[in-house]
Structure 1
Amino acid sequence: MYVGQFKANQLVDRLEAAAKARQATVARFRAHPSADDPIVLARQSARRAVIQAREVRVNEREMARLAATAQHEAEALAAREREAAEAARQAAEKADRQAALAAEQKTARDARFAARKARARR
Structure 2
Amino acid sequence: MADRLSSAAKAKQELLERARAKSPSNDPEFLARKAARDEADRARDARQAEKRAAKEAEAARLAEEKAREEAARIEAEKADAEAQRLAKIAAAEHAAQLEIDQKAKRDAKYAARKARQR
Do the two structures share a fold, i.e. TM-score over 0.5? yes
Does residue 28 of structure 2 align to residue 31 of structure 1? no
Q: Number of matched residues?
A: 112
Question: Whole-Å Cα distance in 2 between the matches of residues 100 and 16 of structure 1?
Answer: 113
Does residue 62 of structure 2 align to residue 72 of structure 1? yes
- What TM-score comes out, normalization by structure 1 length? 0.66
Q: Name the Cα RMSD after superposition.
A: 3.0
Structure 1 runs, 4 residues or longer, greater than 6 Å off: none
Among candidates 13, 38, 41, match of residue 22 of structure 1: 13
- What TM-score comes out, normalization by structure 2 length? 0.67
* Structure 1 counterpart of 2:87: 97
Unaligned runs of 5+ in 2: none
Unaligned runs of 5+ in 1: 1-7
Among candidates 23, 37, 44, match of residue 54 of structure 1: 44
Among candidates 99, 107, 111, match of residue 109 of structure 1: 99
Shift of residue 80, structure 1, vs aligned partner:
0.5
Q: Please say if residues 24 and 30 of structure 2, whose CA atoms lie closer than 8 Å, have aligned partners that are also in contact.
A: yes
Question: Whole-Å Cα distance in 1 between the matches of residues 53 and 107 of structure 2?
Answer: 79
